[in-house]
Amino acid sequence: MKFRFHCLGLPHTKTTRDFSHCAYTQKVWKFCKMMKDRGHYVIHYGAEGGDPPCDEDVAVVSDETWRSVYRSVEKQTSTFFGWSLDDAAYREFNRRAVDEINQRKRQGDFLLPFFGCGARRVCDDVEGVIVVEPGIGYPDGHFAPYKVFESYALLHAMWGADKVRNCEPNWYDVVIPNYFDLDEFKPCYEKEDYLLYIGRVYAGKGVSIALEVCKRLGVKLKVAGHLDNSFVEGYREQWESCVEYCGPVLPQERNRLMSRALGTFAPTWYVEPFGGVQVESLLCGTPTITSDWGAFTENNIHGVTGYRCRTLRDFCVAAEKLLNGSIDYRECRKHGERFSLQNVAPMYEKFFRDVHDVEFGDGWYAL
């Protein structure tokens, strides 16, 4: 069964591989590729200058408007970008996307707001399509009748204790993990003498734990990502003792850093809804050290793909084990491949078929 998808990009980015630091933008780009490659009809709506693999790329934010708000691609990719649901780019996106979708929609089409409530105004104003939130990794603002969560950890957190107590699951709240293009990740099994932290450099991502561990063990920590200078000031001693700062990196440099590291830290303080860095690291043949909650409990197999930790001692012991090569790097790559476009696409197709049965068939009872 072939479907038609209306994919909503993000007004404050351009749907290109250069916005690799924005997980939502990358989900749009990869979803377009994944579904077009399988013969579905994909229409993308986003800022002018995007290049997603699709059947139609509809520019609903002009480059002139985009630059008047966000200045340049270089600025948006070199710093942690700012945006507002009421800025000129969002207003133009909301207005023009509704008009363009209405011109193209057909019965049975799916409308996919990858940025959740950031695109709700568009979804509320388009009738006659099936709205699905295709990859929920955000903690609130869920609104669509059909929802795809990135992990069971987040799904269960959103359901809460009342659904457990009252036996009220939603059969069409499903879990489909994030997905990755294997062509972007080349593993290397000959490692260099460093550990890695990659991501936004701020307290919530737990980078302070990586700093403390590497300072105590006397190990070099390479850090890549957008820098919160106030964070660095709070950990100046640790930072100066062990860090080599690499700045924000594009996919090719990300692959080089990940593939040659002895291990990658992802010790987030919050309940991680998926943790793309962890899987990207596995795809590069590199084990991970993570906190012991959220999606890591599903994706980081303790002692196989890395280690899950709860105390500083746990983190130090895990790092020492990785420094001694305790994890099979090829096994990391093997587990990472579970999240390839080819492996995840059938999960989406099955879900969209089930939803189509609800709208046009016997629903849950369709055989």
Determine contact, residues 148/132, Cβ cutoff 8 Å.
yes
Could you tell me the pTM of the whole model?
0.95
Taking the CA of residue 34 as centre, how many other CA atoms within 13 Å lie in the half-sphere pointing to its CB?
24
Mean pLDDT across the stretch 127-155?
A: 96
The better pLDDT of the pair 237, 104 is held by 104
- CA max distance for the chain: 64
Is 37 a residue whose pLDDT tops 90?
yes
Is 133 a residue whose pLDDT tops 80?
yes
How confident is the model at residue 74, as a pLDDT? 77
Is 174 a residue whose pLDDT tops 80?
yes
Q: What is the mean pLDDT of the chain?
A: 95
- Residue 85: which H helix or E strand, with range? none
How confident is the model at residue 209, as a pLDDT? 97
Determine contact, residues 260/186, Cβ cutoff 8 Å.
no
The 10s digit of each residue's pLDDT in 320-329 is: 999 999 999 9
Query: Over the range 159-188, which residues count as b (16 or more CB within 10 Å of their CB) and which as e?
Result: eeeeeeeeeeeeebbbbbbbbbbeebbebb
How confident is the model at residue 51, as a pLDDT? 97
Mean pLDDT across the stretch 119-141?
A: 96
Tokens of 197: 């932290």
The alpha carbon of 172 is separated from its chain's Cα centroid by a whole number of angstroms, namely 21
How confident is the model at residue 356, as a pLDDT? 97
Is 81 a residue whose pLDDT tops 80?
no
3-class SS at 302?
A: strand
Is 30 a residue whose pLDDT tops 90?
yes
Determine contact, residues 27/58, Cβ cutoff 8 Å.
no
Q: Can you say whether the dihedral through the CA atoms of 157, 117, 16, 110 is positive or negative?
A: positive
Is 137 a residue whose pLDDT tops 80?
yes
Can you give the residue ranges of every domain in the chain? 4-179+341-365, 182-339
According to CATH, what is the number of the domain 4-179+341-365? 3.40.50.2000
Domains 4-179+341-365 and 182-339 share a fold: yes
β partners of residue 264: 196, 288
pLDDT band, residue 71 (cuts 50/70/90): confident
How confident is the model at residue 19, as a pLDDT? 87
The better pLDDT of the pair 311, 19 is held by 311
Mean pLDDT across the stretch 181-188?
A: 96
Q: What percentage of the chain carries pLDDT values higher than 90?
A: 89
The 10s digit of each residue's pLDDT in 246-304 is: 999 999 999 999 999 999 999 999 999 999 999 999 999 999 999 999 999 999 999 99
Is 175 a residue whose pLDDT tops 90?
yes
Fold of the domain spanning 182-339: Rossmann fold (3.40.50)
The alpha carbon of 111 is separated from its chain's Cα centroid by a whole number of angstroms, namely 19
Mean pLDDT across the stretch 111-137?
A: 97
How confident is the model at residue 18, as a pLDDT? 85
pLDDT band, residue 342 (cuts 50/70/90): very high
